[in-house]
Chain A
Amino acid sequence: MDYFIHVLVLAAINGMLALSLALLAGHAGLISLAHASFFGFGAYGAALIALGVRQPDLAFTALACVVSAAALSLFVSIPCTRLSGDYLVIATLGFQTIITSLFNNMRSVTNGPQGVAGIPLPRLFGAHITEPWQFLVVAMMTTSGLYLIVTRILNTAAGRLLHALRADETFTRSLGRDTFGTKVAIFAFAAGVAALAGVIYAHYITFIDPGTFSASESIVLLSMVIAGGAGSVTGPLVGALVLTLVPEALRFVGVPGPTTAAIRQMLYGLLLVAVMLARPSGIHSSWQRRQ
């Protein structure tokens, strides 16, 4: 039972990541391979705050990490607003490489490749969070809240602006819309959400290392979104749930940990190729709307 809860917590965290990346890559058409770096930024931020400040509140940590991740996203969003397609992919991948290299090499802050261990269990509004089910409640509530916010965004003018941006940027600008501001804002939002997922992840697992937030992880997240249907909102969530559960089944059959990690990534890669073969015209159509 505990194990099942554990997997669900991971699924909820992945759900958050997938949903925010779907907003960026699916709805706004800005394919980013830097998502894991913001996830990692949140996780490292939470670890450093938790180890530096005595018994900080989770809400405070989350706020600090989300705001600074959103600020960090400006470094990638502002240079990238003039880019699209494969140039954007390579630039975000470059940003991801920089952040991974910071995690690995700023040894005095991040403890290098060994990672940070012994991250204390958090308090939320004074209550101690210790049990996995309590984490599940926090993660589930955050993910559901995010789901509501994202559906709300997509149903307003802002959401239509995102879709317009994806369809034809020049035309959107000709209508007097601020495409620059929209891109920067959506990048900041997605980065903030990823950092939030990182905060919960760091406190829940209590150990983080650079490998968890590498470029490969960014690819995994992207394939999660694409497999679920990048143009929908429930799709990426379902994708995150299924693609978290399936590799966990490997552990049950007794496959050792590092092998599971590699097989998990291979599965994602194969899935990505399969989806591309099935939907060569683009990733934005959701499964329901597929011809």
Chain B
Amino acid sequence: MSQFAMFTQLLIDGLFFGIRCSLLGVGFCLLYRTHRFMDFGFGLATTLAAYCSYAAHVIWSWPLITAVCFGALAATSLGLALHITLYRILRERGATQLVMLLASLGVYIVLQNMLILLFGAQNHALQNWAVVEGVHLADARVSLSQATNALITLLALAFVAIVLTRFRVGRQLRAAGNDPDLAISSGLPIGRVRLVAAGLGYCLGGIAGLFTALEANLWPGMGFDSLLAGAVSAIIGGTSSLVGAFSSGLVIGIVTHVGIWQLASEWQSTILFLILLAFLVVRPRGISG
């Protein structure tokens, strides 16, 4: 492969990885804006979605489409369940931001190990067939699953954008994110708004987890990587802006891929965090902060 073709391939792979980062970034940002704490349950959503679809497809041999929908549903339900029970109770007891974070950390570690007990600590594959060769774009290869995943991601993000701009609850959600105190004092149903944000956020996280499972593997610790990718995109984009999270996700994806030109792919997460650490030194509160 020529240098140029290599570069285009990296650029395209980076773009697809970036779309996934954007998805995670927007999901994380939605949660963080309305809930105001770093929710490790978001990472759990990606793991749970992947494992639920694995159980449905590989163990109970459901069709792939149904299994994937089941996974996304499981992630959404996890978000709703956590926010109706534990997080609501904590909030009522006046928990600080850090206490909420630590509680979600506890939930994370409990459920991750529950998955280890059920499925073992090793990697699993959701699909067993070989990668379907897709179209060629200027000497570079785009696999069919990459293209499908990217399309579904963009549709999901478009759905979120429509909810946020066209629906009443979406406008309430943005209001609650911009100024929670003002929103509450003007009679906004904050509980319901938070619940919608949790459902949407966890669902986006779940979809990202499903894509990881479809394109690579699923493993118990995958939630950490997703959570961190989401958090990095959201922090670099400035946690107040969904558009920022989206675009920084794209940039991060391309930078990490083109950046690893000479390196093996296992260093990807390392590069991601080096970017984050470097970024935090220069701008501790994001581009807009």
Are A269 and B113 neighbours in the complex by a CB distance under 8 Å? yes
Question: Is B175 an interface residue when CB atoms closer than 8 A count as contact?
Answer: no
CB neighbours (8 Å) of B221 from chain A are 214-216
Task: Give Cα distance in the complex from A222 to B228, angstroms.
Answer: 19
CB closest chain-B residue, reference A214? B221
CB neighbours (8 Å) of B100 from chain A are 276
CB neighbours (8 Å) of B1 from chain A are none
Are A276 and B106 neighbours in the complex by a CB distance under 8 Å? yes
Question: Is B58 an interface residue when CB atoms closer than 8 A count as contact?
Answer: no
Are B235 and A219 neighbours in the complex by a CB distance under 8 Å? no
Are B103 and A281 neighbours in the complex by a CB distance under 8 Å? no
Are A266 and B224 neighbours in the complex by a CB distance under 8 Å? no
Report the stretch among A76-84, A115-123, A127-135 that lies at the interface. Answer: A76-84
Are B235 and A283 neighbours in the complex by a CB distance under 8 Å? no
Report the stretch among B191-199, B205-213, B248-256, B271-279 that lies at the interface. Answer: B271-279
CB closest chain-A residue, reference B95? A280
Are B38 and A89 neighbours in the complex by a CB distance under 8 Å? yes
Report the stretch among B59-67, B114-122, B139-147 that lies at the interface. Answer: B114-122
Report the stretch among B15-23, B152-160, B164-172, B261-269 that lies at the interface. Answer: B261-269
The secondary-structure label for the interface of chain B is helix
Are A93 and B98 neighbours in the complex by a CB distance under 8 Å? no
Complex partner residue of A90 from B97, B107, B235, CB under 8 angstroms = B235
CB neighbours (8 Å) of A279 from chain B are 99
Q: How many residues of B contact A (CB 8 A)?
A: 49
CB neighbours (8 Å) of B117 from chain A are 259, 262-263, 266
Return A268 CB to nearest CB of chain B, in Å: 7
Task: Give Cα distance in the complex from A265 to B108, angstroms.
Answer: 10
Complex partner residue of B102 from A78, A226, A281, CB under 8 angstroms = A226
Task: Give Cα distance in the complex from A283 to B100, angstroms.
Answer: 11
Question: Is B284 an interface residue when CB atoms closer than 8 A count as contact?
Answer: yes
Question: Is A12 an interface residue when CB atoms closer than 8 A count as contact?
Answer: no
Are B94 and A94 neighbours in the complex by a CB distance under 8 Å? no
Return B260 CB to nearest CB of chain A, in Å: 12
Are A89 and B224 neighbours in the complex by a CB distance under 8 Å? no
Are B270 and A280 neighbours in the complex by a CB distance under 8 Å? no
Are B93 and A280 neighbours in the complex by a CB distance under 8 Å? yes
Are B38 and A219 neighbours in the complex by a CB distance under 8 Å? no
A residues 137-187 near B (Cβ < 8 Å) are none
Task: Give Cα distance in the complex from A119 to B235, angstroms.
Answer: 42
Question: Is B216 an interface residue when CB atoms closer than 8 A count as contact?
Answer: no
Question: Is A52 an interface residue when CB atoms closer than 8 A count as contact?
Answer: no
Question: Is B34 an interface residue when CB atoms closer than 8 A count as contact?
Answer: no
Complex partner residue of B228 from A97, A216, A258, CB under 8 angstroms = A97
Question: Is A254 an interface residue when CB atoms closer than 8 A count as contact?
Answer: no
A residues 251-291 near B (Cβ < 8 Å) are 258-259, 262-263, 265-266, 268-273, 276-277, 279-283
CB neighbours (8 Å) of B98 from chain A are 31, 85-86, 89, 282-283
Are A86 and B38 neighbours in the complex by a CB distance under 8 Å? yes
CB neighbours (8 Å) of A9 from chain B are none
Question: Is B231 an interface residue when CB atoms closer than 8 A count as contact?
Answer: yes
CB closest chain-A residue, reference B96? A282
Complex partner residue of B267 from A87, A101, A226, A263, CB under 8 angstroms = A101
Question: Is B151 an interface residue when CB atoms closer than 8 A count as contact?
Answer: no
CB closest chain-A residue, reference B32? A86
Known: A85-B98, A215-B221, A280-B90. A91 touches B280 (CB 8 A): yes
Return B165 CB to nearest CB of chain A, in Å: 28
Return A146 CB to nearest CB of chain B, in Å: 25
CB neighbours (8 Å) of B131 from chain A are none
Question: Is B190 an interface residue when CB atoms closer than 8 A count as contact?
Answer: no
Are A270 and B228 neighbours in the complex by a CB distance under 8 Å? no
Task: Give Cα distance in the complex from A206 to B97, angstroms.
Answer: 41
Return A72 CB to nearest CB of chain B, in Å: 13
Task: Give Cα distance in the complex from A91 to B100, angstroms.
Answer: 17
Are A270 and B106 neighbours in the complex by a CB distance under 8 Å? yes
Are B276 and A94 neighbours in the complex by a CB distance under 8 Å? yes
Complex partner residue of B273 from A89, A97, A105, A214, CB under 8 angstroms = A97
The residue among A31, A94, A216, A222 with the most chain B CB atoms within 10 A of its own CB is A94
Task: Mark contacts of B19-44 with chain A using CB atoms, 8 A cut-off: 1 yes-contact digit, 0 otherwise.
Answer: 00000000000000000011000000
Q: List 29 A-B contacts (CB under 8 A).
A: A78-B281, A79-B278, A79-B281, A82-B280, A86-B37, A90-B38, A90-B235, A91-B276, A94-B228, A94-B273, A94-B277, A98-B273, A102-B270, A214-B221, A216-B112, A216-B221, A219-B108, A223-B109, A226-B102, A262-B116, A262-B121, A269-B108, A271-B106, A272-B106, A276-B90, A276-B106, A280-B93, A280-B94, A282-B96
Not counting A79-B278, A98-B269, a sample of 19 additional A-B residue pairs whose C-beta atoms are within 8 angstroms of each other reads A79-B277, A79-B280, A85-B97, A86-B97, A87-B280, A90-B235, A91-B276, A97-B224, A97-B225, A98-B270, A101-B269, A105-B267, A216-B109, A219-B109, A220-B109, A266-B117, A272-B103, A280-B90, A280-B95
Q: Which residues of B line the A interface, CB within 8 A?
A: 37-38, 86, 89-90, 93-103, 105-110, 112-114, 116-117, 121, 221, 224-225, 228, 231-232, 235, 264, 266-267, 269-270, 272-274, 276-278, 280-281, 284
The 3 closest A-B pairs by CB, nearest first: A272-B106, A269-B109, A94-B273
